[in-house]
Structure 1
Amino acid sequence: MTSFSNIDSAYALATEQYQSTGVDVENALKQLRATEISVHCWQGDDVAGFENTGGTLGSGLAVTGNYPGRARNAAELRSDLEKAYSLIPGKHRLNLHALYGEFDEPVQRTDIGVEHFQGWIDWSRDQGVSLDFNPSYFSHPLADDGLTLAHPDEGIREFWINHGIACRRIAAEMGKTQNNPCVNNVWVPDGYKDSPADRATPRYRLAESLDRIFEEPFDTSYLLDAVECKLFGIGSESYVVGSHEFYLGYAITRDKVLCLDAGHFHPTEVISDKISSTLMYVPELLLHVSRGVRWDSDHVVTMSDELQAIMQEIVRGNHLRRVHIGLDFFDASINRIAAWAIGTRNTLKALLMALLEPREELQRLEREGDFTARLALMEEQKTMPFGAVWDHYCATSDVPVGRQWLDSVREYESSVLSKRSESPESVIA
């Protein structure tokens, strides 16, 4: 166990070192405390949801692994989330998908309403956790051929348009209740496995469908509409209707939030390089922080160069108020609560590292053309005592310091997760 006196001593020394480079550590921590990460609900149950229809995950999504103890209903998922939040410093949000409503009986996705999410709304109020939302355009018979809002069949398009309309109304009510905007993010899997003969027409259909969904006006103080782009996916390797260029143009012309997912681009392409340019033309960004490995595999977020670059771009450009940071990964090969803790803590660590940069000094050197000093300072920054500041932040936030959080996960696994049946169908939500 790390003693508080050791943490305090290390923090005092670290503060002194950072001050020598012109960095205000307390101000950096203040900004970090004010930043809420939108934690994704679907890591807790492998994107199964609670529709109780017996459907399986599909439409270009895949979760690998079968680690015991996955949440089988909303009560278990909320319990697991509470455990995860207790291991993560700060106050954070929850990102819900539409298929996570609480349904006493099967309900068509066009007919879902606020009443199916009242349990989540009540829980969020009790926990002080704000909600974000997503329509679910996958794992459904009407999405089996890989097309939804861009489908050539007008009836199928109408079904998914009405689902989108219903989701916006739910999200707006969430935003009203929590008194801050609920970000409602639209992602559709639409695309083709092989090269299409007509790339344009599906995109016209998608734009028309989105316009229908967004037709009803809502106050942006409680609802923010976001649209999410993608390069390729399982079953849409050759063509995705909602490409980056499509959604960038749509977000600019319709004044929508643009969602950039770290796993949705070519393996050599990074979203950190897109943040400053897209924010010139769209009002706000939503980030889905993930880790693609060779393909859009959504691995648990680690302390990678790209994660650090994403946070550096947000901080260096003074974009924190215009960027919503959410997570999007699902790993069923390891303890799911540990995955939440690792991914969210790493995201916060990377943000803290960016906040502890001597940003003004680096940018001054750049303006003056002193690229030698700029590079030298950036490299010296890598050995600054960031860990001592992070430990202090965790300790003062009443969450475990260092590896101690893993002991808490193991205890929860032994006392709670191990008691869960491996037959989720037998559990009544």
Structure 2
Amino acid sequence: MMSELIKKAYEIAKEQYAAIGVDTDAAIAKMKNVNISLHCWQTDDVGGFETPDAELSGGGIQTTGNYPGKATSIAEMRADLEKVLSLLPGTQRLNLHAIYGDFQGEKVDRDQIEPKHFQSWIDWCKAQGIGMDFNASCFSHDKAADGFTLSSKNEENRKFWVEHVKRCRAISAEIGKQLGTPCVHNTWIPDGSKDTPIDRNGLRAILKKSLDEAMEIDYPKECMKDAVESKLFGIGAESMTVGSHDFYLGYAISRNKLICLDNGHFHPTEQVGDKISSCLQFIDEVLLHVTRPIRWDSDHVVTLNEDVQLIASEIIRNDFLDRVKIGLDFFDASINRIGAYVTGTRAAMKAFLIAALEPTSDLVKLEEAGKNFERLAMLEELKTMPFAAVWDYYCLQEGVATGMDYIAEIQQYEKDVLSKRG
């Protein structure tokens, strides 16, 4: 009964969109190219599996809340991820941090990790039919206790982190080779100063040197691609962050790397959506970490707000889907983690479908003719077009929960699975 109502609503919406020159079937088809990299750390509060019952913190990583049901093993994390994937339309990806290796109870320090420690994750992705991305974990470690990793003036520590990134890149190349889709390896570091530093230049010179050493080997781009991620400031690095946007944008342009734009890593008045077309004038590709900053980088669950919509619209309007890699980055432990995961991912996907339902060429014509009232009016009317009918139909086509039905599914999963943990 509900499926028939969804189909009827879609046919009405299809006619309404057609009246303004929008093909809803084509918009839905475009969503096949929207592949979101799902950040594994939402399931366990950035704990990882380096040691049993790992509870990592520090280095700018802070999760709030203690809602029951956190994943405490690889098996639990994979079960949670499978549940998330079952509630999302389209084909997504997995985004894994190095601390989530399958170490089989063995203590393996980060400068010793190898592809074998992630083979079971590769096999799992094969079974799911998805690609995988990877991240060096330059935080929550004794050799990062002073707040510095790749920019450290302690040569022993610096070399440790260089070796870690080298190994993560090699692992990424193997992941991409086996899965047949490029693995994006992202490098983010928490390095910075709590109080005003004197030698900013020296720290950034060291970071540049370390990155060059870590990325000395060129892997085939069909196997792996490098991204570098900036940050405005962090916990314990309030006065200066070594890896600023200016630093990494220059590095990405000069070294032909991806720049990772996290919309929580900028001043609250800056919009990442506005940066995409600027960066893509000078570099081949961009990596996104989509989150919802409250006041600043608090990594709240993504919602369908104006900032996220601008990001999606800029990508769709300019046909940038093949040049922008989309990932999420939030971790909320104050509510059901699976609910947060699915709600946030579906919100991001909705933004892309809304963008695909825009009569962009007509809006551009109005803009170029100086008809700014008409442009504004059309943008306002688009907000109340029957997008929800198209979204539900898309989900129905993909065989996943429509409307609010996923809420009950997650509640049942909590009752059957999450409530029995710990």
TM-score, normalized by length of structure 2?
A: 0.98
In structure 2, what is the equivalent of residue 396 of structure 1? 397
Q: How far did residue 34 of structure 1 move?
A: 2.2
In structure 1, what is the equivalent of residue 50 of structure 2? 51
Letter in 1 for 2:162: I
In structure 1, what is the equivalent of residue 203 of structure 2? 202
Letter in 1 for 2:82: E
What is the CA–CA distance in structure 1 between the aligned matches of 2:339 and 2:164, rounded to whole Å? 33
SS at match of 2:233: coil
What is the CA–CA distance in structure 2 between the aligned matches of 1:416 and 1:376, rounded to whole Å? 49
SS at match of 1:165: helix
Q: List per-residue Cα deviations over 1:113-138 (Å, max 9, x = no partner).
A: 11111110110000112100000001
> Does structure 1 conserve the Cα–Cα contact (< 8 Å) formed by 2:33 and 2:321?
no
Q: Does 1:213 align with 2:203?
A: no
Q: How far did residue 266 of structure 1 move?
A: 1.0
Letter in 2 for 1:296: D
SS at match of 1:321: coil
What is the CA–CA distance in structure 2 between the aligned matches of 1:73 and 1:118, rounded to whole Å? 16
What is the CA–CA distance in structure 2 between the aligned matches of 1:271 and 1:146, rounded to whole Å? 27
What is the CA–CA distance in structure 1 between the aligned matches of 2:296 and 2:323, rounded to whole Å? 28
What is the CA–CA distance in structure 1 between the aligned matches of 2:317 and 2:129, rounded to whole Å? 30
> Does structure 1 conserve the Cα–Cα contact (< 8 Å) formed by 2:94 and 2:133?
yes
Give the gaps of 5 or more residues in structure 2. Answer: none
Q: List per-residue Cα deviations over 1:297-356 (Å, max 9, x = no partner).
A: 100001111111111111112211100010000000001101110010000000000010
Letter in 2 for 1:88: L
Cα pair distance change 1:155/1:55, threshold 3 Å: farther
User: May I ask how many residue pairs the two structures share in their alignment?
Assistant: 420
What is the CA–CA distance in structure 1 between the aligned matches of 2:415 and 2:379, rounded to whole Å? 44
Q: Does 1:24 align with 2:23?
A: yes
> Does structure 1 conserve the Cα–Cα contact (< 8 Å) formed by 2:138 and 2:190?
yes
What is the CA–CA distance in structure 2 between the aligned matches of 1:91 and 1:56, rounded to whole Å? 31
Q: List per-residue Cα deviations over 1:341-373 (Å, max 9, x = no partner).
A: 001000000000001000010011111221121
Q: Does 1:366 align with 2:352?
A: no
In structure 2, what is the equivalent of residue 6 of structure 1? 5
What is the CA–CA distance in structure 1 between the aligned matches of 2:264 and 2:149, rounded to whole Å? 21
Aligned pairs for 1:51-70 (under 5 A) are 51-52=50-51, 54=54, 56-70=56-70
Aligned pairs for 1:168-207 (under 5 A) are 168-207=169-208
What is the CA–CA distance in structure 2 between the aligned matches of 1:179 and 1:91, rounded to whole Å? 15
In structure 1, what is the equivalent of residue 37 of structure 2? 38
> Does structure 2 conserve the Cα–Cα contact (< 8 Å) formed by 1:97 and 1:135?
yes
Q: List per-residue Cα deviations over 1:229-276 (Å, max 9, x = no partner).
A: 110111111100000000000000000000000100111212111111
What is the CA–CA distance in structure 2 between the aligned matches of 1:209 and 1:406, rounded to whole Å? 46
In structure 2, what is the equivalent of residue 247 of structure 1? 248
> Does structure 2 conserve the Cα–Cα contact (< 8 Å) formed by 1:93 and 1:131?
yes
Q: How far did residue 295 of structure 1 move?
A: 2.0
What is the CA–CA distance in structure 2 between the aligned matches of 1:377 and 1:137, rounded to whole Å? 47
Q: List per-residue Cα deviations over 1:390-409 (Å, max 9, x = no partner).
A: 00001111111111001110
In structure 1, what is the equivalent of residue 229 of structure 2? 228
Aligned pairs for 1:25-424 (under 5 A) are 25-52=24-51, 54=54, 56-104=56-104, 105-421=106-422
What is the CA–CA distance in structure 1 between the aligned matches of 2:192 and 2:222, rounded to whole Å? 33
Letter in 2 for 1:263: G
What is the CA–CA distance in structure 1 between the aligned matches of 2:314 and 2:146, rounded to whole Å? 38
Q: How far did residue 145 of structure 1 move?
A: 1.0
Sequence identity percentage: 54
Q: How far did residue 55 of structure 1 move?
A: 5.3
Letter in 2 for 1:85: L
What is the CA–CA distance in structure 2 between the aligned matches of 1:370 and 1:269, rounded to whole Å? 27
Q: List per-residue Cα deviations over 1:55-94 (Å, max 9, x = no partner).
A: 5311111000001111011111000000011111111000
What is the CA–CA distance in structure 2 between the aligned matches of 1:207 and 1:51, rounded to whole Å? 28
> Does structure 1 conserve the Cα–Cα contact (< 8 Å) formed by 2:260 and 2:286?
yes
What is the CA–CA distance in structure 2 between the aligned matches of 1:155 and 1:47, rounded to whole Å? 26
Letter in 1 for 2:26: N
> Does structure 1 conserve the Cα–Cα contact (< 8 Å) formed by 2:271 and 2:307?
yes
What is the CA–CA distance in structure 2 between the aligned matches of 1:285 and 1:258, rounded to whole Å? 5
What is the CA–CA distance in structure 2 between the aligned matches of 1:120 and 1:314, rounded to whole Å? 30
SS at match of 1:16: helix
Moved more, 219-228 or 47-56: 47-56
SS at match of 1:258: strand
What is the CA–CA distance in structure 1 between the aligned matches of 2:366 and 2:56, rounded to whole Å? 55
Q: List per-residue Cα deviations over 1:181-238 (Å, max 9, x = no partner).
A: 0000000000001111121110010011000111011000110100001101111111
Give the gaps of 5 or more residues in structure 1. Answer: 422-429
What is the CA–CA distance in structure 1 between the aligned matches of 2:402 and 2:56, rounded to whole Å? 39
Moved more, 45-54 or 280-289: 45-54
| Runs of 4+, deviation exceeding 3 Å | none
What is the CA–CA distance in structure 2 between the aligned matches of 1:335 and 1:59, rounded to whole Å? 25
TM-score, normalized by length of structure 1?
A: 0.97
SS at match of 1:320: coil
What is the CA–CA distance in structure 1 between the aligned matches of 2:357 and 2:296, rounded to whole Å? 32
RMSD of aligned C-alpha atoms? 0.9
What is the CA–CA distance in structure 2 between the aligned matches of 1:321 and 1:171, rounded to whole Å? 20
SS at match of 1:287: strand
